[in-house]
Amino acid sequence: MSNRISRRGLIGVVGASTALAAAKAPAIATPDADKVGFAVVGLGKLSLGQIIPGLKVAKGAKLAAVVSGHPDKARRVAAENGLPADAVYGYDDYDRMAKDPRIQVVYIVLPNALHADHTIRAFKAGKHVLCEKPMATSVGDAEAMIAAAKAAKRRLMIAYRCHYEPLNLDIMRRLRDGSLGKTRLVNTTMGRQADLAEPSDAWRLDGLMSGGGALADMGIYGVNAARYLLNEEPVSVRAWAQTDRTDPRFKTTEDLIDWQFRFPSGVIANGSTSFNYAPTMGYEVICERGRLVADPAAFYGGNRLTVVQGGQAQPPLSLPPNDQFAREMDWMADVVRGKAPMVSPGEEGLQDMKLMKAILDSVARDGATIATDWGYRRAYDPAVVVDLPRSA
């Protein structure tokens, strides 16, 4: 795998999981005229490679507009996707969306430091918002986004696609049914090699733009995974960092960060992230009578699960390929229609923002224990309410 690979370029081939009974009926394709319209804000790699293609196969969502600071690029993308000229927006006329009934949801796919401003502007325009993670670069901005949603009486969803991804849902359900006994330990490892020559990496290595370098870009997957795997919240964290300040990539962010969450059930979750180690997005859950090894666990495709019991690894089971982004956006569309509960609300993003701040606070205090029991409890367990696909 190339060292120039980005988080949003970690694309595999075929998902692996087991199909369980659906808690929510599988989505049925909606006539195009009745689909929920999405405006995609930012036309970088993720939008062009995953989000817009996902909207083409989504059952209840569709592309209604594009927003970009590059007019020629925006017009080209719009034309390629059959959008009229008036469905092309720039950041200077962003607020014109208030008068566009074709748009119900604005999907924010911008550098992290721009999330809060464009989210709040979308709410002022009367639109619902799906925002990429991390939701912001500070706890204060995340709280402002949630307040803006409430003031506008609109919905804010954070793009935690693993909440809707079949392999992760399967693992959550295995842990809930207790077939391997009590969970004792979770280990998450999320990182890659970053490259300043890549424009998309340059801002991720900028502390002000990213809000935390590798931790905000890759580590958030491990922070969130420990929480959704266990369906509980950590009560404390300790963390340490190792950063070579002579490396030009790490002038304003930490490199290797390792943390340890303690959960009320007694489970310990170890996590690490780095922009200077071999690409990996995996985790391991160790239970009393077996292990669940997901490696990779959070690619756009090709995620694999190995179940180990009695020292023997079982062959992985597979599902037909599925589009994770289509599933995520279809869920948001159903939330807007009042047909599905909000599984990944702004409060979920805020919890991760607070936990990442606690990690960095502990790093700054050389591994001091930071209390993290702020009272947050998720309203809906993805393992209970999110369906697994029954066909491709």
Indicate which residues carry an active-site annotation: 133, 221
What would the two tokens of residue 234 be? 């950590």
Residue type, 129: V
What would the two tokens of residue 277 be? 């180690």
Q: SS in 3 state form for 368-388? A: CCEECCCCCCCCCCHHHHCCC
How far is the C-alpha of 211 from the C-alpha of 254, rounded, in Å? 11
Q: SS in 3 state form for the chain? A: CCCCCCHHHCCCCCCCCCCCCCCCCCCCCCCHHHCEEEEEECCCHHHHHHHHHHHHHCCCEEEEEEECCCHHHHHHHHHHCCCCHHHEECHHHHHHHHHCCCCCEEEECCCHHHHHHHHHHHHHCCCEEEECCCCCCCHHHHHHHHHHHHHHCCCEEECCHHHCCHHHHHHHHHHHHCCCCCEEEEEEEEEEECCCCCHHHHHHCCHHHHCCHHHHHHHHHHHHHHHHHHCCCCCEEEEEEECCCCCHHHCCCCCEEEEEEECCCCCEEEEEEECEEEEEEEEEEEECCEEEEECCCCCCCCCCEEEEECCEECCCCCCCCCCHHHHHHHHHHHHHHCCCCCCCEHHHHHHHHHHHHHHHHHHHCCCCCEECCCCCCCCCCHHHHCCCCCCC
